[in-house]
Structure 1
């Protein structure tokens, strides 16, 4: 099943995001095909202020585990985080 991981950064945390980004990206890459798509939310200034990640997992608990292990979480970047089941209906990728 697919799950959306939706995170919003704490205020004034751009530098923390930038400093942690290489470790975060390495973690996301380590998840392999479980990651279907993802990227940052951008503000009007084009700076990132949050994250959307769509992952495939066996259960909500496993998707939560993926979210919990993100280096951004360990760094304390997020003000909020939500993990919820998601149904890919429109323009679904052929390899999803």
Structure 2
């Protein structure tokens, strides 16, 4: 089952994002290597600067997805103002269904 993490950064925390990014990227690479990560990337503000994240993972249930989300170095560093973990159905342009 797929889950989307919709993460909003705390205002004024761009430097924390930049400082924590190497650990975050390593975390996502590990999820990718395990086949868990489907895709990810930052939301951008009006100035083109990152202000949040969209991450989609495969997990057995919402509890497992929530645990993955909580292990993200960005979450552990206190970057996020909010995180939603939502079940998600990839209907269009899903390479697995091609």
Unaligned runs of 5+ in 1: none
2-side partners of 1:19 and 1:95: how far apart? 37
**Which of these residues, 40, 43, 49, is aligned with residue 42 of structure 2?**
40
Q: How big is the shift at 1:94? A: 3.3
1-side partners of 2:12 and 2:96: how far apart? 38
Instruction: Show structure 1 runs of 4+ deviating over 6 A.
Output: none
- For the aligned residue pairs, the C-alpha RMSD in angstroms reads 1.4
Q: How big is the shift at 1:44? A: 1.4
Q: What number of residue pairs does the alignment pair up?
A: 96
TM-score, structure 2 as length reference: 0.93
* Residue 58 (structure 2) aligns with: 56
